[in-house]
Amino acid sequence: MLRFLILMLMTIAMAAAEESMEDVQKRTDMGNADAVYAFAEWCEGHNKPTRARQLYGKVIELDKDHEAARAKMGQVRVGERWVAANGPAGAGHAKGDRPGSTAPERHAAGPGPTAQQV
């Protein structure tokens, strides 16, 4: 019986020590981009990636140039615009003008194999 009570008290103490998402949200000024960003990081650290991503979006609504939130959303600044950091290979470059590309452009030499040949 004593073990059960000790185990029960430890469980209650651990639950009380862990903040809930609702508690953190109540303390967050949802009109302040930096406060919302801190809440988003808390969510990310507590295995709530969907909520964190929603909050990073909210940060960007509040401050369109919030670099940390943009980085978390996978965006980089190019000039005056924010673009996806993982754009398609060679995006913004003409064919054969890709940086570091020394291989010639490849073209098909004829029709591919039929289903029976494969």
pLDDT tens profile 59-113: 999 999 999 999 999 999 999 999 998 865 555 544 444 555 566 677 777 777 8
The residues, ordered by sequence, that sit 6+ positions from 52 with a Cβ below 8 Å of its Cβ are: 40, 41, 43, 44, 72
The residues, ordered by sequence, that sit 6+ positions from 104 with a Cβ below 8 Å of its Cβ are: 96
Reduce the DSSP state of residue 76 to 3 states and report it.
Answer: strand
Predicted local distance difference test score (pLDDT) of residue 95: 47
Predicted local distance difference test score (pLDDT) of residue 112: 78
Predicted local distance difference test score (pLDDT) of residue 111: 79
Burial call 71-107: b when 16+ CB within 10 Å, e when fewer: ebbebeeeeeebeeeeeeeeeeeeeeeeeeeeeeeee
DSSP H helix total and E strand total for the chain: 5, 2
Domains defined for the chain, CATH in brackets = 17-84 (1.25.40)
* Better-scored residue on pLDDT, 96 or 8: 8
Reduce the DSSP state of residue 83 to 3 states and report it.
Answer: strand
Instruction: For the chain, give the number of residues.
Output: 118
pTM score: 0.60
Q: For 20-68, how does the pLDDT look when each residue is reduced to its tens digit (9 = 90+)?
A: 999 999 999 999 999 999 999 999 999 999 999 999 999 999 999 999 9
Separation between Cα atoms, residue 25 and residue 76, nearest integer Å:
28
